[in-house]
Structure 1
Amino acid sequence: MDFPKVSVIIPIYNSGNYLIECLDSVINQTLSEIEVICIDDGSTDSSFDILKDYANNDSRFKIFHQENLGAGTTRNNAIEKVSGEFIIFLDSDDWIEEDMCEKLYNHAKKLDVDLVVFDAIWHHKDYDEVLCYFKETEFNQDYESFIFDKFQIKEKIMEPSLGVIWSKFYKTSLIKDNDIKFSSYKIYNDVGFHFKSILSADKIAVLPEVFYHYVNVGQQSLQSSFRWGEYEPIWYDVMMDLREFLTFNNLMDDFRKEFINYSFLSFINKFNGIHEDYKEIFYTKIKYFYESLKLTSDELKKLQFNYMVFYIHIINSNSYFEFKLMHDLFNGENIY
C-alpha cells in the first residue's frame, strides 16, 4: 500500500483493557487502505505492549512511544506522521463502526469536500446519548449530494455538545495547509482545533449515521481529572485564542453574535462549577475578557436575561468579593 486513504490517529495513555476493543474496531475496518498511527504518551501500564502485538501482526499499525506530553501535543506529533488523504481521531478507550472509514471516505470523495460531520453515541453508565449534527429534514436536502459551508451552520459551530473532534472526518490538506494544531493545555486542548478546522473548511458535508462510540463508563481520563480545579481557568485562554483566530481571519463580524453567546454559556457554566479556591483568579480573567470585548448597547439588549445579569455583575464589581455579594443579593441567597 503506497498511500493510505485514511489515517487513524490514536493517542494512548494507560488505556488498559479498553485499548483492545478500540484497536479491534480499527483492524476490522471494511476499508483496508488505512494506516493506524498510535502514539503511546508515556503509559505506565501494558498499553505499549498491546500496541506492539498489533503492530507485529498488521503492517498498517505504526506505533511510537514518548514521554508524557499530553493529548494535544501527542495528536500534533501524530499529524506530522500522517500520509493518508483523510484523518480521523480516535480516543483509545472508544471504538468505531467497522464501515466507518469506507463510508466516510466514499462520501467525502464523491462530494469533494474538506470535512464530513457524522453522528456518534455517547455511552454513559446508565444510558446512551446520540449526538446528531442535523435532523434528517433540517436542511430539507438530500444529504447524499448536499454541500454547505460554515455560514450555513453558524450556531452549530458553537454548540458545546457538537464541538468535538471525534465526530468529524478531516481532509488532511485542510489541516496541514492551514497549519491547524492542538493546544498543549492540560484540558480543553482540542477545542481550538475544532473551531479552526471547521471555520477553515470551504466545503462541508454530513453523513447522518452513527460511526463513533464515545465511552464514558468506568474510567476517568487524565484530562477529566483536571476539571473544576486549578486548570479550569484555562478556558479563558481557549476563548482568547478563538477570539484572536476570528479577528485575524476576518470572521469576527460574521460570528460575533454566536461567539458572544457561546462565551456566556461556557463561562457561566465553568465559573459555577469551579472549586471555590479558584473562583477569584477565574473571575479576574472573565472580567478582563468582557471589558476588552466591549459589547455595544445593542448587543447587551439582545442578551439572554441571565447573561445580562452575569455581565452587569462582572463589569460593575471591582473584586470577586463584590461580584459574589452582588450575585448572592440578586439571587436572594443568605450572604451571612
Structure 2
Amino acid sequence: MKYSIIIPVYNRPTEIDELLESLTKQDFSNNFEVLIIEDGSTEKSEVVVGKYKNQLDINYFFKENSGAGASRNFGMQHATGDYYIILDSDVIVPSQYLYEVNKALEINFTDAFGGPDAAHKSFTALQKAINYSMTSVLTTGGIRGKKQAVGTFQPRSFNLGLSKVAFNKTQGFSKMKNGEDIDLTFRLWENGFETQLIEKAFVYHKRRSSIQQFFKQTFGFGTARPILNKKYPETAKPTYWFPSLFIIGIDVSIILAVFGYNQLLYCYGFYFLLIFLDSLFQNKNVQVAFLSMFTSLTQFLGYGLGFLESQFYPKK
C-alpha cells in the first residue's frame, strides 16, 4: 500500500520546513509521496519545498485560494497512492508515525483513521497550554485522541487518513469552512466505511500562537456544530451545549456573588484549580499550568459563543 501525504499550506513556509524535515526522518522503508498544496499564498513555500527534492518523493502545487478542504481534495485528486494521509502545516511528525499507521492498518484495516496530537518539548508555554486545553479530559472529555473508538471515532483534519476508495465514494471534504472533517466522517459512516483511532500515530501540533488566534479558532469550531446538528440530526447530543451553558453559568455566578451568594463562583474556582493541578501534573511546569486555566476559559468562551451565534443567528 502506497501512502500519499497531503499538506495544504497558506502563508506558512517556516512551518512547512519543520514538517518536511520531520518527514525525512521516518523509520519507514516503504515508498511514500508528499504533496504540498499552496492555497493562493502570498508567502510561498516553493523554495522550502525545493530543499527536499532529493530527500523525499515530493510534488508542489500552487492554486487559487479556496480553503483548506478544497486544497486537500485537490491533493487527493493528484495523488498516486491508494491511501491518503492529511496533515496540517503546523504539525511535526515523530519518526515512528508512518510505521505505526501502517502497522495499525495491517492489523485492522479501516478506510479512514485519525490520530492524536501532543505538545513537543520545544513548544512555547502557551502552545503547551493550548494543547492541554484541547486534549484534557477535564475540558473536552478526552475525545480528541485519548479514547479507543473503532467505528465511531471522528478523525480531525490535522491528522487524518482516508483510502482512495473512500475518497472516490464521498468526494472528500465539503465546502464547509469549519467542521468539514466531522462532516466527512458522518458521510463516511453513511456510506458504510469504518473509522478508527490510531493512538500511537500522534503528531506534535503547534496550534495557534496567541490567545486571540485560539479564540477565533474555537469560535469557528462552535459555529460549525449547530450546522452539523441540522444536517445530521441523529448525531446531535445535549453535551454540545455544555460550553455555552458553562459561560452562561460564569455570568450567573458573578451576578449571584454581587448579592452575596458565592457558592456557584466557588464551584468554578474549584474547577479551574483542578485544571491548574492536572496541567501541572502533566506538564511539570507552573507557567504552563497557570496558562492552562486561561486557555481553557478561552476555549469555552470561543466555542460557546460561536455555538450560540450559529444556533440562534445562523448565517444565510
TM-score by length of 1: 0.59
The counterpart of 1:170, out of the listed 154, 162, 168, is: 162
Q: Residues of 2 paired with 1:112 and 1:188: CA distance? A: 25
The counterpart of 2:232, out of the listed 224, 237, 242, is: 242
- Taking the TM superposition and a 5 Å limit, the aligned residue runs for 1:124-273 are 125-126=124-125, 127=128, 128-129=131-132, 133-134=145-146, 148-150=150-152, 157=154, 164-177=156-169, 179-197=170-188, 200=191, 202-216=193-207, 218=209, 225=216, 228=219, 233=223, 235-243=225-233, 252=234, 255=235, 259-265=236-242, 272-273=304-305
Query: 1:95, CA displacement in angstroms?
Result: 1.3
RMSD after superposition: 3.8
User: Quick check: 1:5–1:84 contact (8 Å CA) kept in 2?
Assistant: yes
Q: Residues of 2 paired with 1:205 and 1:98: CA distance? A: 21
Which residue matches 1:17?
A: 14
What letter corresponds to residue 175 of structure 2 in structure 1? S
Which residue matches 2:312?
A: 283
User: Quick check: 1:164–1:191 contact (8 Å CA) kept in 2?
Assistant: yes
Question: Relative CO higher for 1 or 2, CA cutoff 8 Å, sep ≥ 6?
Answer: 2
Secondary structure of the corresponding residue to residue 173 of structure 2? coil
What letter corresponds to residue 93 of structure 1 in structure 2? D
Q: Which consecutive unaligned segments of at least 5 residues does structure 2 have?
A: 136-141, 246-299
User: Quick check: 2:37–2:63 contact (8 Å CA) kept in 1?
Assistant: yes
Secondary structure of the corresponding residue to residue 199 of structure 2? strand
Q: Residues of 2 paired with 1:149 and 1:83: CA distance? A: 27
User: Quick check: 1:16–1:47 contact (8 Å CA) kept in 2?
Assistant: yes
- Taking the TM superposition and a 5 Å limit, the aligned residue runs for 1:99-118 are 99-118=96-115
Q: Residues of 2 paired with 1:62 and 1:91: CA distance? A: 16
Query: 1:102, CA displacement in angstroms?
Result: 2.3
Identity of aligned residues (%): 18
Q: Which protein is bigger by CA-based radius of gyration?
A: 1
User: Quick check: 1:164–1:190 contact (8 Å CA) kept in 2?
Assistant: yes
Secondary structure of the corresponding residue to residue 54 of structure 1? coil
TM-score by length of 2: 0.63
Which structure shows the bigger proportion of residues in helix conformation? 2
Q: Which consecutive unaligned segments of at least 5 residues does structure 1 have?
A: 140-147, 151-155, 158-162, 244-251, 287-336
Query: 1:98, CA displacement in angstroms?
Result: 1.8
